[in-house]
Amino acid sequence: EQPVCESTEMERLVDVYGTGMLRMCCMYLGDVHLAQDAVQDAFIKIYRAWRPIENPSAEKAWVMRITVNVCKDYLRSPWRRRRAPVEALEDCAVPGPEPEDDTLARAVMSLPVKYRGVVTLYYYQEWSVKEIAGALGCSEYAVRMRMSRARGMLRVKLEGGDGHNEAHASG
């Protein structure tokens, strides 16, 4: 028989992971309302698949992997397949300090999903490469490659040009 997730345990999970899940879903999906739905769906899946986990980092990886998979399902879903305009970022505000300039967030939102995911987990959730690999179900090497490619794409988007150092072109 499957262990039952008590209401106090679900409340703890919401308190510990809810804000981070919402931020990640906003970055993945680009729409705060869709992100809120995704977080609710993720908590339903967590409730249904509940199993006590002693190690907090393993619990975090398990919760976030479910959340990432829900976001991926949303993006693949034919009736939800729509691109939110980048202006939807304005709706993705969650409690915390307000950034003075949202240029970086807009650039991250424009990345392909697999790169947006690693950037979101690494920089916004402050996860290690190992934690990201566990949550996404890929190797640490794949995470590092995606991070490298994402940084290159962001450099091009933020600096303009082809991403090569201009000094080398003239010298």
- What's the confidence (pLDDT) of residue 29? 84
How wide is the angle at C-alpha 55 spanned by C-alphas 43 and 22, nearest 5°?
30
List the single range of 26-30, 101-105, 159-163 with lowest mean pLDDT.
159-163
| H helix intervals, 77-139 | 103-109, 113-119, 129-136
How many other C-beta atoms can be found within 10 angstroms of the C-beta atom of residue 63?
22
State pLDDT tens for residues 17-63: 999 999 889 888 888 889 999 999 999 999 888 887 888 888 888 89
- What's the confidence (pLDDT) of residue 146? 93
Residue 113 has pLDDT above 60, yes or no: yes
List the single range of 62-71, 75-84, 105-114, 118-127 with lowest mean pLDDT.
75-84
